Amino acid sequence: MGSSAQVSGEPAVQSGKAIRFVLDGEVITVENPQPTRTVLQFLREDLQRTGSKEGCAEGDCGACTVVLVELCRDGNALVARAINACIQFLPTLDGKELITVESLAQDSTGLHPVQQAMVECHASQCGFCTPGFVMSLFALYKAGDNANGSGKRPGRREIDDALAGNLCRCTGYRPIIAAAEAMFTRESAHGTGNSWLMTPGPGGTGLAEKIALLESLQRQQALVCGEQQDMFLAPHGIPELLACLAENPRSTLLAGGTDVGLWVTKQYRDLGTVVYLGKVAELGRIEVTATHLELGACVTLSDALPVLHAHFPQLDELFRRFASPPIRNAATLGGNIANGSPIGDSMPALIVLGASLQLRSQAGSREISLEDFYTDYMVNDLQAGEFVECIRIPRPTGSELLRSYKVSKRFDQDISAVCAAFNLTIDAGRVTHARVAFGGMAATVRRAGQCEQALSGQPWSDGTVQAAMQALTRDFTPLNDMRASAGYRMQVAQNLLRRMFLESEGVLTDTVYDYGRAS
Amino acid sequence: MGQPLPHDSAHLHVAGHATYTDDLPEPRDLLHVAVGMSEVAHGRLQGLDLEPVRSSAGVHSVLLPADIPGRNNFGAIVADDPILAESEVLYAGHPIFAVAAHTVDAARKAARKAKIEYEVLDAILDPVAAVSAESFVLPSETMTRGDANRTLASAPHRLQRRVRCGGQDQFYLEGHIAMALPQEDGALLVYSSTQHPDEVQSMVAHACGLAAKDVVVICRRMGGAFGGKESQASLIACIAALMAQKTGRSCKLRLDRDVDMIMTGKRHDFVIDYDVGFDDTGLIQGINFELASRCGISADLSGPVNDRAMFHVDNAYFLSNVHITSHRCKTNTVSNTAFRGFGGPQGMFGIEYAIDDIARYLGKDPLEIRRRNFYGDNGRDVTHYGQPVEDNIAPEIVAQVAADANYEQRRAEIRELNRSSPVLRRGIALTPVKFGISFTSTLLNQAGALVNVYKDGSVHLNHGGTEMGQGLYIKVAQVVADELGIAVSEVKITAADTSKVPNASATAASSGADMNGKAAQAAARKIRRRLTEYVCKQFSVSEHAVKFAAGTVRVGEREFPFAEIVRMAWAERVSLSATGFYKTPKIHYDRDTFSGRPFFYFAYGAAVSEVIVDTLTGEHRILRVDIVHDCGDSLNPAVDLGQVEGGFVQGAGWLTSEELCWNEKGALTTHAPSTYKIPTCSDLAPEFNVTLLQNAANREDTVFRSKAVGEPPLMLALSVFHAIRDAIATDENPAPALDAPATPEAVLRALGGLAASKEAAT
């Protein structure tokens, strides 16, 4: 237990300390929630709602998957996305709708089409992962509805992508994939009380009411909860955020929580006061200017990657192998960058694209190139009271030869052994411009200067590539760990450059990632 | 019978309404328990300062070995496994103390606060070092037939190799958990996620100084087990029970994922040396195996696991002259335990590797060599432990899957394709499985059941088997419903409970449905006989005139609802409750000479897998799988199909992406899904064709002539491993030295593209 949370179904007078969210059509008010209590703990321990399971407490197995519904930032619409309840802090639910596996069926005879398809396809064995799969499939089902009559059903690739964050140890997945295909053709036995769940989408029954309800929960002033040294502060705009950071210089910044959550659930750390960035409107901005893509630091990966993909389709495989849907739905691009892990998957590509960061503090704004941001292992150039405001990526020139490759033990939902990115300009058979960056090869993600030098000005040829591969040994002295040995990392880093060359020569067209999988 | 009914809990699973141990309503007095573990792989405890633990917020009690009133042991076969380490810690993760607190978080935070001083001792961290040091948990064993050394010396061809196959974490999605509730007069009620409630009962009783009658263990279902909750569940249950006994309050111990993976046993990794002699046709003339497995710190189930490895070094092949040495290595790593296949996969890994090598040496299709060595007639029909192979259907199954998969044509096409595709290369392999069914310890092959028929005609079913997702409960319910001629929905499936059916064996060795199905059938049959006798007397008809079917009882020309006959019989004081018992027939086995008939029968299967490998990174994908598997006459084809598919994918994980790593200090570094990678959805082959063998009645008298299906399909995944090896073999490197798991790194190393060894590094 450990929470002093008082739960009631009645909308309370809005106070700064209570959060309100929708569950099964009712507004739930939790008075002064403990800042780092997870949504999963709240469900299982406080509500005795035990359908959602803990399998790993780190967002890697998906047994805790629930769906969050939020108002779209712009416009009269809702977005429903799967997230990992095990690492999502309870106060972040404020103003949203929470849908759990219990929400879908009021009783065992009124199963949702997703659930019905799972039963009919024999898609559960031990059943422990099943609620999570149901919720990920429900999100996919909703996405299908929102596609709004396009008639395109997800193929094997889309199903795999949607389920990349859910582990099943019993079935081998075949019947779950069958259920994902079958669910769109199943009618539920009878409508449940929550008709929005059943017939959603723009104009769907109850949509306007749902939007109105969520709008009524949006607070005017910042959420402040917790006690003393362990506060949860959710400022609404940059001025408030700056004031907040000035008052709480040692606070922990929280965005998607897909790493910070683990500090609590795995390391049992006390975070002190948490400043939540998810309500800072300016940080959710996405803008495409004449010269740049500008992504606010708190744009989720699920929102950021499609924008990047539209301009850099060469990064498709990287983006699909980047974490999993529930992680991408919570995690932010700014979080991936500011966290600064040497194996963060966004940075090699962003560095070779020449991305820069706009940093903000009370002193004002400054811009720093991403490659200069990292100074040492998990250390960056952020000063006290400073935060990443936005990521600026130059628009494609159209002449770049761009590739990024991720190599890991498993294709999906794995952490890179090596993540490579190459951005070359080749003019008349000669490399005129070379940017090469790697993750997993050093204490930070960084450029490979020797390799770049070996490429620059040279003919784009096998000989140059050989020399540049050799140069990598002067750029990096990688580590041995459980993901890969130093020798493997170096060899693969070199081979990925070769792969790029072979692709540019048309010798290779595919990686093995999508082999045989229909989209 | 034989209906593809959904899992009995499917509608509950999908709605989140299926109750697992952690979902049970918590008693008001509940305390949460966490375990303090050794940080070193081998050491003597010098100082144990638990004051910071006791004074940590929310802490109620601390449990130490001195608090254990009974035996400080949970080792069921050999009493060498302390619940809490006393003076010497033997692996990084060894439990030293437990702490109870008012919340889960408080207990776990407190457990980390102990200040422990160790005298660090030398640690043995791998099986090879253990063999050198003669560090064993049990004596080495040998099995011999003929004269392997003589035939090896005279064989036209001879190959030797050392191969390794990794261990594997069970990675059940529900971690270990137990909740113990004090009862009147010092008794205990224990909810445990366990495959073996009877053993949990015994171990808790021994530890708490109670008689078995004072301990009740209940398990409705597990969120997966795969062997990992056979012996290991006792450790968790004992700690919860001891703390409950000490505090007089209900206590729950739920391991978080990391602790679960660090503290509980896994599949044994093996180092296998073989020396094989063969003729020009690939016929094996003699073979020597030396098997060394990582058993960890104690015997646990390592004896029977390694025995089974020895039994399965033949797989489907007749080995005329064979000598096997098996070392059960004591290492300063967690004590390894049961995992689906139970040594069988590792034994088969060795022989399939040897066969593949023979083919590659002779330049022949490995399938040809496999066929050349199959069991057959004329003296080629007895295993190396003296059991006649009476039911050999491997050749037929292999022929069927080869035809279904179009193996020969595809193999030729792949070889052609690879000529023009040096970077992305494909490979294909067909491997068979022959797996012995029964516990090799004969006494374990017994089962009990309890069937109660109530006055309204509804039926309560209980048996010694546990439900871990494998569909045992629906299968046994189908058997009972069939026996009584009623709908399955009339049969209430209930939790495994040591107070209903005593002395039950573990639900293991694939034997759950075979044994509990027969026992439940026997119980139901007793009741049907009593009802029949009553009806015969009441209506003056002969037995032949009475039929139980479709919820009715036909008596001559008349028909009564089953419930009506039941009610009438009850009114005439007929007993409507019965126990059933079953012991597997025909089996006998002398452990001293390793000879006899340890297995009631064999289950068979065969698989063809095709893969594509990126030779620049070592990454690979399974493209197509074809399987034909033998379930006898299936009790429930939907459930059996699920076992075959799931077992195969789990086996593919073992052989490809699932890698256990320890650092130089002996600490496991892969202890969560972020670092330990079981297959995900996209790893399933895009083309995945699984067929259950038809008209396949078991020649032995099993329940409805079905066959066990839990373990055998896992080993079908050896086809994936050999397909990868096939893909990376070239004229220059025809027999690449690929170890399992075939991670991208292992593949690149086998391709010759890597100098540095990873072992020294991790």
Domains defined along chain A, listed by start? 39-217 (1.10.150.120), 223-276 (3.30.43.10), 285-504 (3.30.390.50)
Of the residues A37, A42, A176, A488, the best mutation for testing chain B's interface (the one with the most B CB atoms within 10 Å of its CB) is A488
The domain made up of B10-17+30-122+176-254 has a fold known as Aldehyde Oxidoreductase; domain 3 (3.90.1170)
Tell me the mean pLDDT in the region A27-43.
Answer: 97
**Cα B370 from Cα B607, distance rounded (Å):** 13
Instruction: Check residue B635 and give left, alpha or beta (phi > 0: left; psi -120 to 50: alpha).
Output: alpha
Question: How many angstroms separate the CA of residue B498 from the nearest CA in chain A?
Answer: 21
Q: What is the DSSP string of B458-503?
A: -EEEEES---SSSSHHHHHHHHHHHHHT--GGGEEE--EETTTS-S
pLDDT higher than 60, residue B693? yes
Chain A residues touching residue B52 (CB < 8 angstroms): none
Nearest beta carbon to residue A511 from set B7, B25, B614? B614
Chain B residues touching residue A55 (CB < 8 angstroms): 173-175, 257, 673
Q: Look at B603 and A147; give whichever has higher pLDDT.
A: B603
DSSP character at residue B654:
H
Question: How many angstroms separate the CA of residue B541 from the nearest CA in chain A?
Answer: 43
Chain A residues touching residue B624 (CB < 8 angstroms): 516
**Cα B302 from Cα B313, distance rounded (Å):** 17
Nearest beta carbon to residue B745 from set A415, A484, A517? A484
Tell me the mean pLDDT in the region B440-458.
Answer: 97
Helix (H, G, I), strand (E, B) or coil at B3: coil
Average model confidence (pLDDT) across chain B: 97
pTM of the complete model beyond 0.95: yes
Could you tell me the end-to-end alpha-carbon distance of chain A, in angstroms, rounded to an integer? Answer: 45
Tell me the CB-side half-sphere exposure of residue B606, using CA atoms within 13 A.
26
Helical segments of B127-284, H only: 127-132, 148-154, 197-208, 233-247, 257-263
The answer to whether A297 touches A332, Cβ cutoff 8 Å, is yes
Chain A residues touching residue B647 (CB < 8 angstroms): 172
Give the start-to-end residue ranges of the domains of chain B. Answer: 10-17+30-122+176-254, 270-440+591-750, 446-583
Tens-place pLDDT, residues B646-659: 999 999 999 999 99
**Cα B470 from Cα A461, distance rounded (Å):** 56
Question: How many angstroms separate the CA of residue A171 from the nearest CA in chain B?
Answer: 4
**Nearest chain A alpha carbon to B683:** A411
Tell me the mean pLDDT in the region B324-334.
Answer: 98
Chain A residues touching residue B414 (CB < 8 angstroms): none
Active site residues of B: 711
pLDDT higher than 80, residue A199? no
Do B270-440+591-750 and B446-583 show the same overall fold? yes
Tens-place pLDDT, residues A100-117: 999 998 665 689 999 999
Q: Which amino acid is at B464?
A: G
pLDDT higher than 60, residue A203? no
Q: Is the peptide bond before B741 cis (omega within 30 degrees of 0)?
A: yes
B619 CB near a chain A CB, below 8 Å? Answer: yes
- The pLDDT, as a whole number, for residue B758 is 42
Chain A residues touching residue B111 (CB < 8 angstroms): none
**Nearest chain B alpha carbon to A265:** B105
Among residues 417-436 of chain B, which lie with CB inside 8 Å of chain A? 423-424
Q: Which pLDDT band, with edges at 50, 70 and 90, does A202 fall under?
A: very low
Helical segments of B25-134, H only: 51-54, 104-111, 127-132
A61·B173 Cβ contact <8 A? yes
Tokens 């940590």 correspond to what residue?
Answer: B56
pLDDT higher than 70, residue B278? yes
The answer to whether B355 touches B161, Cβ cutoff 8 Å, is no
Work out the percent of chain B whose per-residue pLDDT is above 90: 98
DSSP character at residue A339:
H
Tens-place pLDDT, residues B40-75: 999 999 999 999 999 999 999 999 999 999 999 999
- The pLDDT, as a whole number, for residue B761 is 35
Of A33, A42, A34, A1, give the one whose Cα is nearest residue B102: A1
Any bridge partners for residue B607, and if so which? Answer: B431, B627
B685 CB near a chain A CB, below 8 Å? Answer: yes
**Cα A212 from Cα B51, distance rounded (Å):** 55
The answer to whether B492 touches B19, Cβ cutoff 8 Å, is no
Buried b (16+ CB within 10 A) or exposed e, A143-156: bbbbeeeeeeebeb
B679·A173 Cβ contact <8 A? yes
Q: Which two tokens stand for residue B24?
A: 């049970």
Burial of A4 (0-12, 13-18, 19+ CB in 10 A): exposed
Of A500, A505, A313, A502, give the one whose Cα is nearest residue A396: A313
Q: Which two tokens stand for residue B505?
A: 């064996």
Tens-place pLDDT, residues A305-345: 999 999 999 999 999 999 999 999 999 999 999 998 999 99
Which helix (H) or strand (E) segment holds residue A490: the answer is helix A486-504
Phi, psi of A471 (to 5 degrees): -65, -25
Nearest beta carbon to residue A119 from set B6, B221, B623? B6
- The pLDDT, as a whole number, for residue B499 is 98
B355 CB near a chain A CB, below 8 Å? Answer: no
**Nearest chain B alpha carbon to A52:** B16
CA distances from B57 to A261, A365, B102, B333 (A): 21, 43, 9, 32
B14·A481 Cβ contact <8 A? no
- The pLDDT, as a whole number, for residue A192 is 42
Helix (H, G, I), strand (E, B) or coil at A420: strand
Chain A residues touching residue B173 (CB < 8 angstroms): 53, 55, 61, 63, 126, 128-129, 167-169
- The pLDDT, as a whole number, for residue A200 is 43
pLDDT higher than 50, residue A2? no
Chain B residues touching residue A60 (CB < 8 angstroms): 672-674
Of the residues A53, A126, A177, the best mutation for testing chain B's interface (the one with the most B CB atoms within 10 Å of its CB) is A126
The answer to whether A39 touches A93, Cβ cutoff 8 Å, is yes
pLDDT higher than 80, residue A206? no
**Cα A220 from Cα A489, distance rounded (Å):** 51
Which helix (H) or strand (E) segment holds residue A464: the answer is helix A462-475
Q: Which two tokens stand for residue B379?
A: 């003296």
Count CB-CB contacts under 10 A for residue B347. 27
- The pLDDT, as a whole number, for residue A106 is 65
Tens-place pLDDT, residues B489-514: 999 999 999 999 999 999 999 999 99
Of B311, B309, B315, give the one whose Cα is nearest residue B339: B309
- The pLDDT, as a whole number, for residue B548 is 98
Q: What is the DSSP string of A74-142?
A: SSS-EEEEEEETTSSBGGGGTTSEEE-HHHH-SSTTS--HHHHHHHHTT--SS-SSHHHHHHHHHHHHH
Any bridge partners for residue A26, and if so which? Answer: A23
**Cα A29 from Cα A23, distance rounded (Å):** 10
Tens-place pLDDT, residues A425-457: 999 999 999 999 999 999 999 999 999 999 999
Of B190, B196, B180, B174, give the one whose Cα is nearest residue B256: B174
- The pLDDT, as a whole number, for residue B410 is 98
**Cα B302 from Cα B321, distance rounded (Å):** 26
- The pLDDT, as a whole number, for residue B450 is 98
Distance from CA of residue B505 to its chain's centroid? 14
Nearest beta carbon to residue A60 from set B112, B672, B744? B672
The domain made up of B270-440+591-750 has a fold known as Aldehyde Oxidoreductase; domain 4 (3.30.365)
Question: How many angstroms separate the CA of residue B20 from the nearest CA in chain A?
Answer: 8
**Cα B757 from Cα B736, distance rounded (Å):** 16
**Cα B547 from Cα B531, distance rounded (Å):** 11
**Cα A295 from Cα A283, distance rounded (Å):** 8
**Cα B24 from Cα A40, distance rounded (Å):** 16
CATH code of the region B446-583? 3.30.365.10
**Cα A24 from Cα A98, distance rounded (Å):** 8
Which helix (H) or strand (E) segment holds residue B722: the answer is helix B718-728
Tokens 């002996």 correspond to what residue?
Answer: B666
Strand B595-597 and strand B588-590: the pairing is antiparallel
B661 CB near a chain A CB, below 8 Å? Answer: yes
Nearest beta carbon to residue B681 from set A131, A164, A491? A164
The answer to whether B250 touches B181, Cβ cutoff 8 Å, is yes
Of B289, B235, B284, give the one whose Cα is nearest residue B85: B235
Tell me the mean pLDDT in the region A235-262.
Answer: 94
Tell me the mean pLDDT in the region B369-388.
Answer: 96
- The pLDDT, as a whole number, for residue B690 is 98
Q: Which amino acid is at B21?
A: T
The ipTM of this complex is 0.97
Tens-place pLDDT, residues B146-169: 999 999 999 999 999 999 999 999
A268·B108 Cβ contact <8 A? yes
pLDDT higher than 70, residue B566? yes
pLDDT higher than 90, residue A5? no
The answer to whether B428 touches B478, Cβ cutoff 8 Å, is no
B186 CB near a chain A CB, below 8 Å? Answer: no
Tell me the mean pLDDT in the region B718-738.
Answer: 97
Any bridge partners for residue B145, and if so which? Answer: B322
- The pLDDT, as a whole number, for residue A8 is 52
Which of A195-199, B201-205, B427-431, B644-648 shows the lowest per-residue confidence on average (mean pLDDT)? A195-199
Q: Which amino acid is at A174?
A: R
Helix (H, G, I), strand (E, B) or coil at A369: strand
- The pLDDT, as a whole number, for residue A449 is 98
Q: Which amino acid is at B513?
A: A
Contacts of residue B566, Cβ cutoff 8 Å, sequence gap at least 6: B453, B454, B455, B456, B457, B531, B576
Tell me the mean pLDDT in the region A461-480.
Answer: 97
A125·B7 Cβ contact <8 A? yes
Helix (H, G, I), strand (E, B) or coil at B403: helix
A159·B681 Cβ contact <8 A? yes
Q: Which two tokens stand for residue B65?
A: 């070995």
Question: How many angstroms separate the CA of residue A124 from the nearest CA in chain B?
Answer: 6
CA distances from B186 to B177, B200, B215 (A): 22, 17, 9
Chain B residues touching residue A413 (CB < 8 angstroms): 680
Strand B95-101 and strand B59-63: the pairing is antiparallel
**Cα A408 from Cα A419, distance rounded (Å):** 9
Nearest beta carbon to residue A160 from set B15, B468, B681? B681
